[in-house]
Structure 1
Amino acid sequence: MTAASSPSAKADSAAEAVPRPAPERPRPGHGPLLAALAVLLVSLAGFGGYRLGEGLGMRALQVEASHRLDLGAAAIDGVVNRYAHIPATIELSPEVLALLRAPDSEARAAAANRYLERLNGHIGSIALFVLDRRGEVRAASNWAHGDSFIGEDLSFRPYFQRAIAGQAGRHFAIGTTRGDPGYFVSHPIRDGSEIIGVAVIKIPLGGLEETWLSLGTPALISDENGVVILTAVPGWLYRSLAPLSAATVAEIEANRLYNGRPIQPLTIGPEPVAAQLPMADEDGVELRLDRRIALPPELPRNSGYYLAQGRTLPDTGWRLLVFSDLTPVRHQAASQAALALVAAAFVVLLAIFIAQRRRILRQRLEAQRLLERSNAELENKVARRTRALTESIARLRKEIAERQHAEQTLHAAQDELVQAGKLAVLGQLATSVTHELTQPLGAMRTLAGNAVEFMRRGDQDTAAKNLDIVGRLADQMASIITPLKTFARKSPAVPAAVDVTHAVGNALFLLEQRLKSADITVDNACVAGEAIAWCDQNRLEQVLINLIGNAIDAMRGQPRRELSIHAVRHADGRILLRIGDTGCGVPEALRGRLFEPFFTTKPAGEGLGLGLAISRDIVREFGGDLDADNRASGGTYFTVFLNPAPATESAAP
């Protein structure tokens, strides 16, 4: 006897009988073509990324090189043109005019020499000298040195020839006496309408060496003849950027501009220099630099590939060239190419993924059509699956409800933690205020006891003074609490003429017990009546109490404990009240944060970090300021800047 089959078994067997779609096979012949196309697209993307990165890097490098040109041009202009007007002022000297009118007078020559020596001592040039109409040096600032210019015939110099013709002369040359280079500026000296001599200044160019190194890249300057006269690369000095013509060589030899040095063409790479260097201003030219050229150790190592940019200096006719290393640009371009390759590869993979997804979707649609035809045989199986799904949904809803309850519990716990954190901060604030009020309360207790004793003895005046101080201490306690509110909401102060010495005395009196218990020596150099400030006395005393209290804490455990207080008048009229200690000082890294609210260097529980912030706020309310600095001998100086009281006001007692 054969057992009857169950509905689920029939459904399963029906499902097994449903024909499944055959997997779609790739079309033959398309695979290699698509792979080649993908490789081509990725390669083109990498090439385009490289070119784009190279273009962006070149533009950024050109802008940076332009900034370097601006810096170099400004430095050259500052050195060359700083004293270019001096020769024109020498024409106004009576000593120089008298010498040129009577060149053979030794007394007039001595007077002119001393005048030029004094003038050169003020400006710091290499030399100042005066030539007569024949080009002979008649007076010089270096007349007392063994290598003086006096008596030299400099008529061959271009600066003399231009000046004697009535024009100002300028050019670079190497000195014939000392052999040191300089920039010569000349100006004609007139007696009425007649030119009777020439005044010349020789400006040193040695100060430009630091400028070359600060550019961070090789650079050079060529004069109007195309000869390198300034550079950070020693091998380039006195080399010509282009071959010199015979006329130019003859003129250089006649004028002895380079003191007889042979001028050879500059070689920086495999191609001629004239064909590589930029001729127009701001043009950038890529060139190869011979790797055997040794650069100064302050500059980066010679990479061999540079971008040369030039600029012509209008005042001197010189040309400034800056060589920017292309290695960072190439690295940036390579990085951009790598990113482009990765992006292109990602796009290709995404396209393959989408194509695969579409193929799978087609297979699913085909399977769906087959399943629709066998729907009758699968009804029982769908029913079972539906019941299972309903149970799963119920379990899921239960889990969702449990998770929502857990989230509500978590939020409640978080709110309680936040409230506990707030209460902790309020506790710290209460502890700090209690600490600040302990000293005034102790002083009031002592003064009240003393007042009772003086009243018992019949000394009413002393008792009255003590009770007056107790009242002021009560006000002081109020002033300690008030800044905590004024830190967030400022209240106007009541300025008056205040004797700083009196305020310092009150603060020291209130802190006398702490100073004695800490064994601190007090050096109070303030003199009554010398420093009258325009401020609020009670608030000034509060600031002083805070600063002196900080000083006491800073000197805790130090072998030398000295507190110095003195008031001086600044050059701008303000009063500077300085409180110095011999503590451990403030680290440089923390000085900028001293006046930030809630920032403190004290151990936990000893302060909220509001004292200095409140003190600066108080001082600034009546137009002053508060600053801190470390003492050279150790410790810290806190300086209170106060405005002086008007002349019509008198200090309060």
Structure 2
Amino acid sequence: MKRGLRILLGSLAAALLVGGAGWLAYTASLRQGTEVLRRESNHQLELFAAAAEGVIKRQESIPATLQLSPEVLALLREPQSPARIEAAALYLRRLNAHLGSLELFVQNQQGQVLASSEPGLRGEDLSFRPYFLEALAGRVGRHFAIGTRDGRPGYYVSHPIHDGARVVGVAAIKIKLDPINEAWATLGSPALLADSNQVVILSSEPAWRYTSLAELSVDQRVDLQLSRLYAAQPLPRFPLQVDLRVDEDSQVIEGVLPNGLGAAASAPRLASRAMLVMGRTLNGMDWRLMMFSDLRPVRQQASTHGLLASLGLGVVLLSALILLQRRRILRQKLEAHAELEDQVARRTQALSEANAQLAQEVTERQQAEATLRRAQDELVHAGKMAALGQLATGITHELAQPLGAIRTLAGNALEFMRREDLRSVQGNLEILTRLADQMGQIIQPLKGFARKSQARPQRCDVGQALGNALFLHDQRIRQQQVSLERELEPGQAFAFFDPNRLEQVLLNLIGNALDAVQGQEDRVIQVQAMQGGGQVLLLVRDSGPGLGDEALRRLFEPFFTTKEQGVGLGLGLAISRDIAREGGGELEARNHPQGGAEFILHLPADDTPQAAAQA
């Protein structure tokens, strides 16, 4: 009886252990998988938000330029003149055709359209639109609305037209949103855009459009009807109930769509499963971008991990039970040699435990090394993405001029072809080719830099890597008016190192030098290289205040930084030294005798016959 009770209690304990192990593995895998999905969704949202902002911001400054047009000012001074109306309309039609926008129009102080790129819009009274009221008050008006005449949705931007110090009219543009609708497929998940009224204006799901994320009050509905932003749309509630949390600092929206919520008729694909809702606010537009990512693959993977953990522990417990049973039978058969067998069993058990512990330690160390390597790769890639984000404005500025020239030359070429002036067409095409090459040179250094990859040592041109890093910091160097003294050019020094990692290290060193010389009277950065003894030494020196004793002692510690709070994490130099050591080099820092800080990067030289011949 007692033996049966012990067996029952043991079985229950084993079942609890197996179930507990499976639950712990499921919970850990679910948490990790959700975090990975959250990071991937955030990255996709950042790219999509940047594309959406680019569609709008490319044309939102056009109304501000209309007051510079003599045709528009003449029309506002003589609004009844047919000649003035036709001249202004012709100018607006040509500009609208060049820009590719939906409409360009000019209103008087009463909100009546005096001239438009679309003939049917002239004479309409649009004084009820919020963008007109904002511009009439001397401010820039921006909002989404459905056209009163054509019923097409668009983003309206308005600007006051001044004649001296007085506002005499309003210039407005209607920007098409078709490129945003065409880009939904890049997200790979259902998504939507909601305006400042929390009304869904664009979505990959047609049933979601013109629904309200929040319950609209009677006053809000009356205001929307008066302004006719959404025409005659009834604006029902959004079919899915989402519990959202908004981070006010980062403007990141996050929530979870539980199982069983939502209207299945409106969203049958989504109402029956859990979704991770991620979103963010678009800069300067008060628009919310939200994406619904399916959690089923994450939960299925977590279930698999929980099952494997339970099976693994069950095998271990069963093996232990079999071993105990064998030992009991052997002990009964060999009672005469009980003491000897007991000693042998204890020694065998100790060796087995030591071997298992050693194997576990080896496995844990291998896992820790792999985790560290992955974390380092992620941090390097994150640093690259942060640098690319800072360069977006500069690259846009660099590409804007050749793009404008290409548009003009292409238009001229079409006109020359119409006149059968093939020599002029050939000249324009040659200029277009040079401009395309110029744009290629601008974006060439960014191709390999943004790629996420593992370290692969190879023959590396140190001068070329330095040039790429300096290119990525070119905007800051020009803005801070830094004097750059470079004594290394491509083809002068070669190292056996991963080129992508070398660019990351140089990017960190030059960025720190730019931070050090900021605010100094003399802003100088010197970069020079020396080669010998199987090494390539790269020296980066700045004319900043130098490094204190504590900074020199703790400079390469993770999370130690001399910058102001909120500027940097203190990981750049620590990661850079780890990258250098991983590739067989070293990174050192010191104060230069003539002032400022100096970083010395040791790299293994490339000793191949080709490198020796070039050296």
1:308 is matched with 277
Quick one: distance in 1 between partners of 2:340 and 2:307? 49
Superposition map of 1:214-363 within 5 A? 214-268=186-240, 273=241, 276-280=243-247, 281-288=252-259, 290=262, 292-293=264-265, 304-359=273-328, 362-363=331-332
Among candidates 146, 149, 153, match of residue 177 of structure 1: 149
Q: CA deviation at 1:154?
A: 0.7
Quick one: distance in 1 between partners of 2:208 and 2:184? 14
Structure showing greater Rg: 1
Deviations along 1:525-557, one digit per CA (max 9) or x if unpaired, are xxxxxxxxxxxxxxxxxxxxxxxxxxxxxxxxx
Q: CA deviation at 1:115?
A: 0.9
Is the alpha carbon distance of 1:66 and 1:369 closer, same or farther for their aligned partners in structure 2, counting shifts above 3 Å?
closer
- Three-state SS of the structure 1 residue aligned to 2:76 is helix
Quick one: distance in 2 between partners of 1:115 and 1:198? 16
Q: Which one scores higher on RCO, CA 8 angstroms, separation ≥ 6? A: 1
Superposition map of 1:602-641 within 5 A? none
- Contact (CA 8 Å) 2:192, 2:204: kept in 1 or not? yes
Amino acid at match of 2:91: Y
Quick one: distance in 2 between partners of 1:115 and 1:371? 107
Superposition map of 1:408-487 within 5 A? none
Among candidates 30, 35, 41, match of residue 6 of structure 2: 30
2:488 is matched with none
- 178-187 or 59-68, which deviates more: 59-68
Q: CA deviation at 1:52?
A: 1.3
Is the alpha carbon distance of 1:360 and 1:210 closer, same or farther for their aligned partners in structure 2, counting shifts above 3 Å?
farther
- Contact (CA 8 Å) 2:161, 2:170: kept in 1 or not? yes
- Contact (CA 8 Å) 1:54, 1:329: kept in 2 or not? yes
- Three-state SS of the structure 2 residue aligned to 1:220 is strand
Quick one: distance in 2 between partners of 1:371 and 1:56? 50
Is the alpha carbon distance of 1:45 and 1:314 closer, same or farther for their aligned partners in structure 2, counting shifts above 3 Å?
same
Is the alpha carbon distance of 1:236 and 1:69 closer, same or farther for their aligned partners in structure 2, counting shifts above 3 Å?
same
Does 2:146 correspond to 1:155?
A: no
1:633 is matched with none
- Three-state SS of the structure 1 residue aligned to 2:51 is helix
Superposition map of 1:584-603 within 5 A? none
Is the alpha carbon distance of 1:86 and 1:571 closer, same or farther for their aligned partners in structure 2, counting shifts above 3 Å?
closer
Is the alpha carbon distance of 1:27 and 1:261 closer, same or farther for their aligned partners in structure 2, counting shifts above 3 Å?
closer
- Contact (CA 8 Å) 2:105, 2:171: kept in 1 or not? yes
Quick one: distance in 1 between partners of 2:167 and 2:305? 67
Quick one: distance in 2 between partners of 1:30 and 1:295? 55
1:75 is matched with 51
Quick one: distance in 2 between partners of 1:365 and 1:205? 87
Does 2:131 correspond to 1:131?
A: no
Among candidates 95, 119, 127, match of residue 71 of structure 2: 95
Amino acid at match of 2:54: G
Amino acid at match of 1:137: V
Quick one: distance in 1 between partners of 2:93 and 2:192? 33
Quick one: distance in 1 between partners of 2:51 and 2:307? 41
Q: CA deviation at 1:61?
A: 1.5
Aligned residues: 342
Amino acid at match of 1:177: R
For structure 1, the residue ranges without an aligned partner over 5 or more in a row are: 1-24, 373-567, 573-620, 622-653
Deviations along 1:114-141, one digit per CA (max 9) or x if unpaired, are 1111111111000100111111111111
Deviations along 1:463-518, one digit per CA (max 9) or x if unpaired, are xxxxxxxxxxxxxxxxxxxxxxxxxxxxxxxxxxxxxxxxxxxxxxxxxxxxxxxx
RMSD: 2.9
Quick one: distance in 1 between partners of 2:338 and 2:41? 70
Quick one: distance in 1 between partners of 2:327 and 2:228? 85
Quick one: distance in 1 between partners of 2:188 and 2:101? 27
Amino acid at match of 1:282: I
- Contact (CA 8 Å) 1:137, 1:154: kept in 2 or not? yes
Q: CA deviation at 1:243?
A: 1.1
- Three-state SS of the structure 1 residue aligned to 2:174 is strand
Is the alpha carbon distance of 1:97 and 1:259 closer, same or farther for their aligned partners in structure 2, counting shifts above 3 Å?
same
- Contact (CA 8 Å) 1:46, 1:338: kept in 2 or not? yes
2:16 is matched with 40
Is the alpha carbon distance of 1:371 and 1:265 closer, same or farther for their aligned partners in structure 2, counting shifts above 3 Å?
closer
- Three-state SS of the structure 2 residue aligned to 1:241 is coil
Does 2:35 correspond to 1:59?
A: yes
Identity value in percent: 47
- Contact (CA 8 Å) 1:278, 1:309: kept in 2 or not? no
Quick one: distance in 2 between partners of 1:370 and 1:333? 48
Quick one: distance in 2 between partners of 1:250 and 1:139? 30
Q: CA deviation at 1:320?
A: 1.4
Quick one: distance in 2 between partners of 1:124 and 1:72? 21
- Contact (CA 8 Å) 2:239, 2:267: kept in 1 or not? no
Q: CA deviation at 1:363?
A: 4.7
- Three-state SS of the structure 1 residue aligned to 2:167 is strand
- Contact (CA 8 Å) 1:309, 1:322: kept in 2 or not? yes
Deviations along 1:317-364, one digit per CA (max 9) or x if unpaired, are 111111111110111111111111112112212321342354356457
- Contact (CA 8 Å) 2:30, 2:298: kept in 1 or not? yes
Amino acid at match of 2:157: V
- Contact (CA 8 Å) 2:22, 2:310: kept in 1 or not? yes
Q: CA deviation at 1:263?
A: 1.8
Quick one: distance in 2 between partners of 1:128 and 1:44? 66
Deviations along 1:382-401, one digit per CA (max 9) or x if unpaired, are xxxxxxxxxxxxxxxxxxxx
- Contact (CA 8 Å) 2:190, 2:291: kept in 1 or not? yes
Amino acid at match of 2:99: I
Deviations along 1:143-200, one digit per CA (max 9) or x if unpaired, are 2xxxx21111111110000001000000001111111111000011111211111110
Q: CA deviation at 1:67?
A: 2.0
- Three-state SS of the structure 1 residue aligned to 2:183 is helix
- Contact (CA 8 Å) 1:307, 1:325: kept in 2 or not? yes
Deviations along 1:175-231, one digit per CA (max 9) or x if unpaired, are 111111110000111112111111100011122222222211111111111111111
- Contact (CA 8 Å) 1:117, 1:141: kept in 2 or not? yes
Is the alpha carbon distance of 1:293 and 1:74 closer, same or farther for their aligned partners in structure 2, counting shifts above 3 Å?
farther
Amino acid at match of 1:82: R
TM-score, normalised on structure 2?
A: 0.52
Is the alpha carbon distance of 1:76 and 1:371 closer, same or farther for their aligned partners in structure 2, counting shifts above 3 Å?
closer
Among candidates 120, 135, 139, match of residue 96 of structure 2: 120
- Contact (CA 8 Å) 1:287, 1:306: kept in 2 or not? yes
Q: CA deviation at 1:282?
A: 3.5
Is the alpha carbon distance of 1:166 and 1:331 closer, same or farther for their aligned partners in structure 2, counting shifts above 3 Å?
same
- Three-state SS of the structure 1 residue aligned to 2:107 is strand
- Three-state SS of the structure 1 residue aligned to 2:60 is coil
2:185 is matched with 213
- Three-state SS of the structure 2 residue aligned to 1:282 is strand
- Contact (CA 8 Å) 1:135, 1:154: kept in 2 or not? yes
- Contact (CA 8 Å) 1:223, 1:319: kept in 2 or not? yes
2:483 is matched with none
Amino acid at match of 2:151: G
- Three-state SS of the structure 1 residue aligned to 2:258 is strand
